[in-house]
Amino acid sequence: MPETKSDRRDIVIIGGGHNGLVAAFYLAKAGFKPLVLERRAQVGGAAITDEIHPGFRCSTLAHTAGPIRPDIVQDMQLEKHGLRLITPETCVTALSPEGRALSLYQDTNKSAQAISAFSQKDAVKYSEFQQSLTKISKVLAEALATTPPDIDHPSGADLWSMLKTGRALRNLGKRDMYRVLRWGPMAVADLVAEYFETELLRSVIAARGIFGTFLGPWSAGSSLQLLIRAAGDSHLAGSAFFAAGGLGTLTQAMASAAKSAGVEIRTAAEVIEIRVKDGAATGVLLSSGEEISANAVISNADPKRTLLKLTDPTHLSPDFVQKLQHYRGNGTVAKVNLALCGLPNFTALKNGDGAALKGRIHIGPEIDYLERAFDESKYGNFSRQPYLEATIPSLADPTLAPDGKHVMSIYMQYAPYQLKGDWESQRKALGQTVVQTLAQYAPNLPELILTHQIITPQDLEDVYGLTGGQIFHGDLALDQFFTMRPLLDWARYRTPIENLYLCGSGTHPGAGLTGGSGANAAREILKQLKK
């Protein structure tokens, strides 16, 4: 009988990225039996570790856990499942081409002290700015953990949560409340200029407002990104959270926690279609030809892939399809991972000061430098003097590389997905640009390289399933945020197709490796499933 062949599940989750795993875990906790289907051979999405050279392991894409929501770590007991977070005292070190280095630490006073070598005034302002941001970030964290309200028909609960957010805002006091309202739409270059005079300090903080998006520091709204990031990590320049063994251990721990909660995970199981009947999702079709029917289908893939590729768009209204086509998500980052036979010697750091390199390394010494890097990408070229965020995780976690050897993981921006010409022919030039840029700060780097791994925006799409190579599943911008993520009125993890839900970074709150989208989605979906 054909029925026996078809598998029937209560919940199918498409994609085993961190948000999919988080959502699966919470749904399993609530008594469901979710089945997670991962296209690739390993779960983890963009949070994975690969061996890039015999004996050298590196976080392939995301290289800092950024920052995972503490309640999720606790609920999933990730530490019990093998996660060990490493948080070096140095959060970030910004380098200047003249051979100066500015390190910012977890400790505000220590950071201020480091800044005072550049400007006494900035040192004072740093603490002041940090204080405001810490206060504001608490309110924002609360707002990000809520489900965006239904604009057309706000429910009692929606009104209550809006009221709560409103009250929390008011309780910040007049000055800080106005700061939130004023900062959101600002250009991050303006924001940092209001506080600081030191270019190196300005640019390392401004970088938080542009990372991963198609914005330059002079783009209005880049401050919003800084605020969203600060909601999870109130450190002004951003902390550095590593996972021992690479970021893959984070998602491995999540998978393990999910499994012990009752989740079933299948890898190498590629969903090629979401089955829809009479306006409701009924299951999924795998590339193997296997069909799995389900009461609810949850997609951890990005909104465009989910609704325009995996679903037959004829099930959606033309209006919705058109809006979704306009959802912006053109990637701007590339990744280069290096296996090194020794520690590069940075001219700005005396006698190979390893401690300064344990956090993130920021290359982009001036606001204008960052903006110029952005300029090129507007016209379809990758930056010849790019903004880089590098880490050498083997310093804090020697298990990643053989003794005395290292891995270096570098985010390169701007590498526009929409390139003049194709990425394959530019791959080598991209790698060279990154190495040459770094060599301006660490001249011996080129001779230490054992191997390159170059991941272009096209690879991000083709290999890792990120539409447009956008690492956040869609630009984080004022018009694609909160009640507008991914689309106005569709920010509540539901889709126009009944029983089809979204739980990936293309939903509120979106940014980075926080697990926020997965956890929020699970909460909303549970409400629906229990109806």
Residues lying near another protein in the complex (CB under 8 A): 151-152, 170, 174-175, 177-178, 181-187, 190, 194, 215, 218-221, 319, 323, 326, 328, 368, 371-372, 375, 378-379, 477-479, 484, 487-489
Both tokens of residue 343? 């520690």
* Residue 30 contacts residue 477 (beta carbons within 8 Å): no
Min separation Cβ 115 and another protein, Å: 21
Print the SS3 string covering 324-391: HHCCCCCCCEEEEEEEECCCCCCCCCCCCCHHHHCCEEEECCCHHHHHHHHHHHHCCCCCCCCEEEEE
Output 377 or 456, the one with its CB closest to another protein. Answer: 377
Output 259 or 323, the one with its CB closest to another protein. Answer: 323
Min separation Cβ 343 and another protein, Å: 36
Output 8 or 378, the one with its CB closest to another protein. Answer: 378
Min separation Cβ 223 and another protein, Å: 9
DSSP string, 82-123: T--EE--SEEEEEE-TTS-EEEEESSHHHHHHHHHTT-HHHH
User: Between helices 174-183 and 222-232, what is the axis angle to 10°?
Assistant: 120
* Residues facing 44 on adjacent strands: 17
Min separation Cβ 489 and another protein, Å: 6
Output 282 or 507, the one with its CB closest to another protein. Answer: 507
Output 184 or 313, the one with its CB closest to another protein. Answer: 184
Both tokens of residue 366? 């001036």
* DSSP H/E element including 502: strand 500-502
Output 34 or 221, the one with its CB closest to another protein. Answer: 221
Output 30 or 124, the one with its CB closest to another protein. Answer: 124
Output 265 or 307, the one with its CB closest to another protein. Answer: 307
Output 258 or 477, the one with its CB closest to another protein. Answer: 477
Residue type (1 letter), 285: L
Output 287 or 325, the one with its CB closest to another protein. Answer: 325
Min separation Cβ 4 and another protein, Å: 44
Min separation Cβ 488 and another protein, Å: 5
- Pick the closest to residue 117 from 106, 131, 103 (CA basis): 103
Both tokens of residue 25? 């875990």
Min separation Cβ 285 and another protein, Å: 32
Min separation Cβ 513 and another protein, Å: 25
* Residue 372 contacts residue 218 (beta carbons within 8 Å): no
Output 195 or 441, the one with its CB closest to another protein. Answer: 195
Min separation Cβ 232 and another protein, Å: 22
Min separation Cβ 182 and another protein, Å: 5
Output 71 or 479, the one with its CB closest to another protein. Answer: 479
Min separation Cβ 405 and another protein, Å: 42
* Residues facing 391 on adjacent strands: 360, 409
Phi, psi of 239, deg, nearest 5: -85, -175
- DSSP structure class, residue 480: G
Q: How many helices (H) and strands (E) does the chain have?
A: 18, 18
Task: Work out whether the CA dihedral 92, 127, 477, 25 comes out positive or negative.
Answer: positive
Pairing of strands 90-95, 360-363: parallel
Min separation Cβ 142 and another protein, Å: 18
* Residue 392 contacts residue 64 (beta carbons within 8 Å): no
Round to whole Å and give the CA distance between 312 and 239: 42
Phi, psi of 277, deg, nearest 5: -135, 130
Helix (H, G, I), strand (E, B), or coil: what is residue 386?
Answer: coil
Round to whole Å and give the CA distance between 329 and 417: 9
- DSSP structure class, residue 478: G
Round to whole Å and give the CA distance between 27 and 21: 10
